Amino acid sequence: MKIGIITSGGDCPGMNAFILELSKLCGKNNYDLIGYIGGYKGIEENNFIKLNFDNISGMALGKKGGSLLLTGRYEDLKIGEKLIKFKQRIDEIGIDWLVVLGGDGSLKAAKKLSDLGLKLVGVPATIDNNIIGTEYTMGFDTAINKTLQVINDIEDTATAMPGKVYIIETLGGDCGNIAKAALDEGAADIALIPENPISDDELVKLIKDKFNEGNKYLIMTICEGLNKTMYYSEFLKKALNKKVHISIIGHQQRGGSPTAYDRYVARRFATQTFNLIKKDISGKMVCYISGKFKNCDL
């Protein structure tokens, strides 16, 4: 049995741990594991390497962020002819199954490839945690923890020099899950996210209320997709007559060693993926729902 694997779209912590675990399971069962380089582009260019646990286990992969296979955003994934070409390329070299790790766009293309008759399993892997069908996507926990760490550090100086407002911009594209998690986990006082728009007047009132209720400083996360970080920094300075500082965390949130939880999820997703292949169940995405690792339709 020959299994191909790609990491596609934005990388996320846990991708390497997944590859390592899958290589272990393939090795034990005498399956070949072929890693395409750079996501879907690797398929198009027939650019791949043979992966096996013996070769890669020494690379301390489990604890490394990013992806040893490299990833990429492929612009033309919606074009049917491209997908037919991908399938031809895969068939040419005798790959029986394709495993696709990635976010929304990557998995939508995977679904189309599966509809073309390619045996395939999708794996939700994005720091954004925004894939329909799963409550958790690999990498989210690491990204939240990075955000909380930044806020913890800021709080030290905020406590020492009270009275200021801190705006912390998080990744997530148009999806506010990371910014909101900082609020849910008690690190931020306010989270501004595209899913829950708020007027300038409402925001000013909210911040004033927090200070009146006893806040010594105010921490506000803002999702990058709102594209209003600089605007709020200037606007709030004037509206509140307070110092406003901004921190744009950026891609630090996407890199770095996966948390223990993301390593665990990576291993569980890999086992789930392998079991689907072994049972010859194609067109599924591994997922996490109500405390259980399962699979759902792509």
Q: Summarize as ranges the residues that interact with ligand F6P (CB under 6 A).
A: 9-10, 73, 103, 126-128, 171-173, 224, 254
Pairing of strands 292-297, 284-289: antiparallel
Q: Which residues are within 8 A (CB) of 206 and not within 5 positions of it... i.e. 6 or more apart?
A: 190, 198
Contact 178, 143 (CB under 8 A): yes
Cα gap 19→101, rounded to integer Å = 10
Q: Could you tell me the strand order of the sheet in which 165-170 lies?
A: 190-192, 218-223, 165-170, 244-248
Nearer to ligand F6P, 13 or 35 (CB): 13
Of 11, 128, 141, 189, catalytic: 128
Nearer to ligand F6P, 23 or 177 (CB): 177
Tell me the three state secondary structure of residue 289: strand
Nearer to ligand F6P, 73 or 245 (CB): 73
Catalytic residue at 128? yes
Closest separation in Å from C-beta 154 to ligand F6P: 21
Tell me the three state secondary structure of residue 295: strand
- Max Cα-Cα span within the chain: 68
Residue 101, phi then psi, degrees to nearest 5: -100, 130
Tell me the β-bridge partners of 295.
Answer: 286
Q: Which amino acid is at 112?
A: K
Closest separation in Å from C-beta 128 to ligand F6P: 5
Nearer to ligand F6P, 95 or 193 (CB): 193
Closest separation in Å from C-beta 175 to ligand F6P: 7
Closest separation in Å from C-beta 142 to ligand F6P: 12
Closest separation in Å from C-beta 162 to ligand F6P: 32
Nearer to ligand F6P, 112 or 254 (CB): 254
Cα gap 274→107, rounded to integer Å = 18
Cα gap 186→39, rounded to integer Å = 37
What residue is closest to ligand F6P based on CB? 10
As annotated, the active-site residues are: 128
